[in-house]
Amino acid sequence: MKRQMGKFWQLGVVAAWILLGACAALGQTAAEVQRSLDSSVKGQQLLIRDFVADTVIRYSWAGNHLEHQSTRFLTFGVFVAESIKVHQSHGVADEVKIEGKRWVLRKVDPAAPDGLSEQATKVVFDVDLRGADAATISGLRTVLFFPDIDSALEAVPPQFVRLIGIRKPGVNMSGGWRPGRWLKVESKWQLVQGPVAAPRVLHSAEPEFSEEARAKRIGGNVMIALAFNGEGTVDEAWVLRPLGYGLDQKAMEAGVKYRFDQQWQGQPVGSVLAVEVNFQIF
């Protein structure tokens, strides 16, 4: 009986090693992912996919793709990774943390004068790879960042295109530069021709100072675009003209508390409005 149990134990050990080997084959080791990201991401100017403007951007496996947590904070962000750390479990990479700085893109060419915002924001990508397949892990750069400026411009939501003002000749801007006004009618954005009355602000919110700006006595204005729905509540806030020092985040936090009233053909609709948020030092 003892000999038989010994055989079962040995078989169990072998099976466990086979299982771990299979897992390693499906995934990638931390060293492999580290080398890949160091060469393809670290130190480069990259355009953040989906225009996410959170300071901590979290991704996790959603069954067949990596998906970031939904956000209402957006901007045309250019990210430079300063630190990349890859963790692993059972020989397979299961988590990636990328720390760096994000600037706001103002012109198509980041190297042009005023092409990027003066101040940068510290940003962390926290990517949970548990469940992700090897192809997704090896292509992590394309999951997190646009491949080029053309792809990023094509992806800009049409309701924001005019307010952003970044345009490259020959690139289809999803109709954003055509005459008319974008309205959100029954949960769908559409381009409306003809005169449309300006929206009314029913409620505004006073922004709070960030600790960094208060300590350094930094003041000024942050320009944001607020996209609101037919009920007048804000769905998304996009930083157009940043100030930095944590004030951009505070401006968006105040912006999503705004309430509006927009009427078109006798019915409430949504729209987009640029709002200047003032931070004044007394």
Q: Is residue 259 part of a domain?
A: yes
Q: What is the mean pLDDT of the chain?
A: 88
Binning pLDDT at 50, 70 and 90, where does residue 175 land?
A: low
Decide which of 82, 114, 148 is a domain's last residue.
Answer: 148
B/e letters for 18-47, b = 16+ CB within 10 Å, e = fewer, are: eeeeeebeebbebebbbebbeeebeeeebb
Q: Beginning with the edge strand found earlier in the chain, give each strand of the sheet holding 73-75 in spatial order.
A: 73-75, 234-241, 220-228, 271-279
Total domain count, the chain: 2
Residues 192-229 pLDDT 10s: 988 899 999 999 999 999 999 999 999 999 999 999 99
Pick the closest to residue 28 from 97, 89, 84, 83 (CA basis): 89
Predicted confidence at residue 195, as pLDDT, reads 86
Whole-number pLDDT of residue 176:
59
87 pLDDT above the threshold of 60: yes
Domain of 136, in residue numbers: 26-148
DSSP 198: P
Give one DSSP letter per residue of 115-161, joined into a string.
SB-SS-EEEEEEEE-TT--HHHHHTHHHHHB-SSHHHHHHHS-HHHH
Of 148, 182, 200, which marks where a domain is finished? Answer: 148
Task: Flag whether pLDDT at 75 surpasses 80.
Answer: yes
Whether residue 11 lies inside any domain: the answer is no
3-class SS of residue 228: strand
Query: Do 126 and 190 belong together in one domain?
Result: no
Predicted pLDDT at 281? 81
**Which residues are registered as beta bridge partners of 61?**
66
- Find the mean pLDDT for residues 242-254: 96
Structure confidence at residue 27 as a pLDDT band (50, 70, 90): low
- The residue from 114, 148, 182 where one domain ends is 148
HSE-up of residue 197 (Cα within 13 Å, Cβ side): 13
Question: Does 163 lie in the same domain as 245?
Answer: yes
pLDDT of residue 180: 81
Of the segments 3-7, 79-83, 195-199, which one has the largest average pLDDT value? 79-83
Kindly tell me if the per-residue pLDDT of 98 is higher than 80.
yes
Question: What global pTM score does this model have?
Answer: 0.85
How far is residue 78's CA from residue 76's CA, in Å, rounded to a whole number?
7
Rounded to whole angstroms, how far apart are CA atoms 130 and 11? 27
Pair (36, 114) in one structural domain: yes
